[in-house]
Amino acid sequence: MPGATSIVLTGAGNVELTRRILADLFTVPELRGTLRIVLHDIDPGRLATAEELAARLNTEAGAGARVEVRADRRRALDGADFVVCQLSVGDYQTTLRDFEIPHRHGLRQTIGDSIGVGGIFRGLRTIPVLVALAQDMTEVCPEAWLLSYTDPLVMTLWAIRKATGQQRLAGLCHGVRDTHAFLADTVGRDVEEVSFFTAGITHQAFVLRFEADGHSLYPEFARAALAHPTSVRTRMWRSFGFFPTESSEHAAEYVPWFMRYDAEIARHHIPVGEYLSRVGQNLHGYEEVRRALAATGSLLNRWREPEVASVVMTAMLTARPARLNLTVPNDGLIAALPQETVVEVPCRVDQEGITPTVVETYPVQLAALNRTYLNVAELTVHAALEGSRAHVDHAAMLDPNTAAALPLAEIHDLCDEMIEAHRELLPAGITAGTLGGADQTTEGKS
């Protein structure tokens, strides 16, 4: 297929996401007969399922795509125009340890995939894999776009930039889109009627403008919110002035004010350990796809909206531009946040690529809150790239929820136990390292 657009799905064994992306792309008329789809995964069984799924969708849609399977990552990347990253490092037992060990130390978590002790150790496991992927891309497909769903998104994209200088990358998340739909629905409007401007960092962005017919809808939302139970998000909105994009269960563990207190957990209906049930649902979803492949029903059009990766690639490959929030290198987009990090801002996507919007005015209280998140992300990036055991402790000590719940000595002991539990998946320097910080000072010496 000379001149075909090559799209690599790495982590293709995440078959429900693979299904949504391919079903979207295969039903775009302008892309019929133009796509080369390369599937990559380290799990042979899941890769085989992804291959069967892609072939079925291709036939059902009449897409005329060429579908290939590559177990070797560099071979998969060869000639890529887009690389969609949707992988997870570790298995269910790995995630279980992210929750059970902190719980034994008295630390509560809800999702634990982007911040907190769970997020830190997910980052330490995932950063080396994604950096290696990006390094392969610079050698094998230097002009390709990296589109990543992989959490912790801020940590991994920051590390990729720092280690490789990669600029053609974007993080993908459903949070902003879902929040816009929620806000519009709460005030009884279709989302298309409402003008939004939302910015910040992934999982901690804020709706800065929420308008229709030339006026703010926040007063209407305030009246409507009185009829709903108090949630973490509404409490954050009332405290900081702007509605946050992340779900209440996720937002609760990014700050020090909720998870430590039994009364706050009850008042805001915070589901401690929620992510474990989601992982179980994902395992169930894989089996559902396998059952669907054994049946004769359609695998197309089984969801409400196009997948984010599909929107981005379709906009770049056709004459249909799109506007959506993406996570991209900061580089002055939000001046109050570190320039070397990544931020989530509205972007125009078209055949020229991704053009992010500069946020001219970003409220100082939001930037201050974001920096408490970015402190943890930055230290985790340094810990992973430098193999620094000391920075693991530093990240955990500065994590808002962990700092609110545990004293310093307990945090260090928790990190020790987590390192031992995840030893096989961590950078070698961390597993061999020793405690830094205060224990290395010269206090008391002449």
76: left (phi over 0), alpha (psi -120 to 50) or beta: alpha
The first and second tokens of residue 191, run together, are 């989302």
Q: What is the 3-state secondary structure (H, E, C) of 178-207?
A: HHHHHHHHHCCCCHHHCEEEEEEECCEEEE
* Sequence-separated contacts (24+) of 256-261 with Cβ below 8 Å: 256/400, 256/401, 256/403, 256/404, 257/404, 258/232, 259/108, 259/109, 259/110, 259/401, 259/404, 259/405, 260/108, 260/401, 260/404, 260/405
* Strand 215-216 versus strand 353-356 pairing type: unpaired
Catalytic residue among 174, 203, 250, 269, which?
174
Angle at 21 between CA 20 and CA 25, to 5 degrees: 115
Check if 394 is active-site: no
Distance CA 251, CA 248 (A): 5
Contacts of 272 (CB under 8 A, 6+ apart): 108, 109, 110, 259, 265
Amino acid at 367: A
> How far apart, in Å, do the first and last CA atoms of the chain sit?
74
Amino acid at 174: H
Distance CA 68, CA 54 (A): 9
The first and second tokens of residue 93, run together, are 């037992």
Element (H, E) at 170: strand 169-171
Of 374, 102, 328, nearest to 382 by C-alpha is 374
Q: Which residues of 223-261 are buried (b: 16+ CB within 10 A; e: fewer)?
A: eebeeeeebbbbbbbeeeebbbbbbbbbbbbbbbebbbb
User: Between the CA of residue 354 and those of 8, 345, 350, what are the distances in Å?
Assistant: 19, 11, 7
Q: CA 216, 222, 223, 228 torsion: positive or negative? A: positive
User: Between the CA of residue 21 and those of 78, 106, 245, 307, 313, what are the distances in Å?
Assistant: 21, 40, 23, 6, 10
Distance CA 371, CA 343 (A): 12
Residues marked active site are found at 174
